[in-house]
A and B are shown apart, each in its own frame.
Chain A
């Protein structure tokens, strides 16, 4: 039943002012088409404002970027293709850590453990068995999800502890996970191959197709590295969009509320237990998947690889990239994975860096590690929003150009 009051409703007013027909009823105004013509930043509905690609520039750049990434392996050498694949994998792990640490505010130094767990779950489900190690030789369509599910279940078990413990206490607690995990990995020889030996990763057979073979695409021969590249990129895109959707949905807003003030969040009716448990579980899922993919690309690893320094690498991904942003995690992963390579390329040019491990002022590896630490400090002190923050500054500068503000 409608009563004509003579006063134009919000919708009528909008139609009159913009000259566009408005459809949809009840929940806010929705203008046909995206935004208002010529005014891309005017949002007429909450949904349009919250969309992932809410400006034409974002849509354009994302498309361009995806296009560039898809043709990249045809121009790169095989080892560089592998390196970029590692970027995708670290981005998955980084997004996972960002969900729990950046969005939900629960510091975790234990992600190396969950990555290792994912890698070994994959190896058990998908690896070849022998008299030393267990392996069931299943398809990648099974072992990859399992590599996420098993760590997620362990995350679910650990989460109640995280609910009880806060702040820096939690950081040290998760640090303990890494050390206990390393010990368990070393001792569980039938699963991990044992210390110093390790085991071969799961076999990359997806839906019956062996990814290690050569494939032909548009007349190009795809190397094994390129096949891994596309598979990892596809998984990465799915997981990244899923994470972005999670963060802009109700649980995502609950994460942010818990991070900003947990007492206030619980006063507003957000269950701390459920929110923190969800954050830990989802995050462990991401870590597990990235661990499984990582060994698929780099090959055999020993239990000691899943150590504190891997956790620090992941932390660097989100600290350098940008806390509580998905695109920041991707930038950070690119930075953390590519930076050592850039340094070692520079080593031939810059005199005081030596390529041998002991001679010279600093070896390449030492310089890489040191730059890493220094950059974490510099970003935290000077630009806490990380690379993403730098990008926002640049963007805002050009948005208002030629006016400074």
Chain B
């Protein structure tokens, strides 16, 4: 029972909240610009690298280093949007999504070049310590993942719901032309969306980098698991991203825990494909995800 809670549920919620964080980044960009940002994995790993450099290299206090890394990545995200994505406004979403695939390739090489072949750590304060939660010993890092992610997502949600800028962003995602007519600087909203999304990716990168083995450039591919998460949740739903992230995280952790014991014939590392299997099953039943808006078709 304690095993189920500590290495099943709590770890799953920990991973899941990281996925949720990445997925919210996808959703924000999708809502603002109608594009899936395939470059998110590269932004995430660059975020982990920036945190690592600032915290262990420059010796900044850890929270300061994390915030600074988020700021750096927000700048990278905004620059990417301005250079590569802004010229694609008004073109097919497919073409713009393919541009982000190109951006992924470029930034991934940059990450490889910066990180090199060695394994880095982000210098987080949690390490392997454990905490007592309702009489069950759980890893501190899992709790930290849940708390940090939920606080960040909550802050973004609050920003979108309450602030003037958030209102402008929501207006942009509903109808760009009308928003423009109301005096919203739509270009700035695109930029802002990429900035927020890249900052969230950096935070997620830091959380992924806390794993006991550290991180390398190839760890970036973990972020691709946030894609099934956004699909399961629905591409345009922040609520969906959070629920689906947690669901897939827990499913993955439970698979890792029980599959070697009960379904060994499925082979090693089945947990890697679990998100995709869940995605396919959900898509068969609901083509727009659990919380996604059904597209209205007009001829």
Q: Chain A: residues with CB nearer than 8 A to chain B? A: 105, 107, 161, 164-169, 171-173, 175-176, 179-180, 183, 186-187, 261, 263-264, 267, 308, 312, 315, 319, 358, 362, 366, 369-370, 372-377, 380-381, 384
Contact = CB atoms under 8 A, between A and B. Distances in A.
B100 to A, nearest CB: 9
A63 B298 CA distance: 47
A366 B107 CA distance: 11
Given A179-B272, A183-B269, A377-B102, A370 B109 contact: yes
A166 B102 contact: no
Interface of B: 30, 35-36, 84, 87-88, 91, 93-99, 101-110, 112-113, 116-117, 221, 224, 227-228, 230-231, 235, 266-270, 272-273, 276-277, 279-280, 283-284, 287-289, 295, 297-299
B97 to A, nearest CB: 6
A364 B244 CA distance: 41
Contacts of B284: 161, 164
B280 to A, nearest CB: 6
Contact of B267 (A172, A183, A370, A377): A183
B274 to A, nearest CB: 10
B241 to A, nearest CB: 13
Contacts of B288: 169
19 contacts: A164-B287, A166-B295, A169-B288, A171-B36, A172-B279, A173-B283, A175-B224, A175-B227, A176-B279, A179-B276, A180-B280, A183-B272, A263-B297, A308-B221, A362-B113, A372-B102, A374-B106, A376-B99, A380-B96
Nearest to A381: B87
A27 to B, nearest CB: 32
B76 to A, nearest CB: 15
A312 B101 contact: yes
Interface centre among A183, A267, A308 (most CB of B within 10 A): A183
B95 A161 contact: no
A358 B113 CA distance: 8
Given A180-B276, A183-B269, A358-B116, A169 B235 contact: yes
Contact of A168 (B84, B97, B269, B279): B97
B94 A168 contact: yes
A315 B101 contact: yes
Contacts of A168: 30, 35-36, 93-94, 97, 235
A140 to B, nearest CB: 31
Decide if the interface of chain B is mainly helix, strand, loop or mixed.
Answer: helix
B88 A381 contact: yes
Interface centre among B97, B99, B109, B235 (most CB of A within 10 A): B109
Interface centre among A366, A375, A377 (most CB of B within 10 A): A377
Nearest to A357: B117
Contacts of B221: 308
Contact of B88 (A264, A362, A369, A380): A380
Given A164-B287, A180-B277, A187-B266, A172 B227 contact: yes
Given A161-B280, A168-B97, A374-B102, 8 more contacts: A172-B231, A263-B298, A370-B109, A373-B101, A373-B106, A373-B108, A376-B101, A376-B102
B134 to A, nearest CB: 36
A377 B99 contact: yes
Contacts of B266: 187
A191 B35 CA distance: 38
Contacts of A375: 102
A100 to B, nearest CB: 12
Given A165-B287, A171-B36, A179-B276, A315 B98 contact: yes
B227 to A, nearest CB: 5
Nearest to B280: A176
A370 B276 contact: no
A376 B39 CA distance: 13
B98 A319 contact: yes
B103 A373 contact: yes
Contacts of A105: 94
Contacts of B295: 166
A169 B287 CA distance: 8
A166 B227 CA distance: 15
A267 B283 CA distance: 25
A380 B88 CA distance: 8
Given A168-B93, A169-B235, A381-B84, A373 B105 contact: yes
User: Across chains A and B, which 8 residue pairs bring their CB atoms closest together, nearest first?
Assistant: A373-B105, A376-B102, A187-B267, A176-B276, A373-B106, A377-B102, A373-B102, A370-B109
Given A171-B97, A175-B224, A176-B280, A370 B272 contact: no
Given A187-B267, A366-B113, A173 B99 contact: no
A377 B112 contact: no
A373 B107 CA distance: 9
Contact of A366 (B112, B117, B267, B273): B112
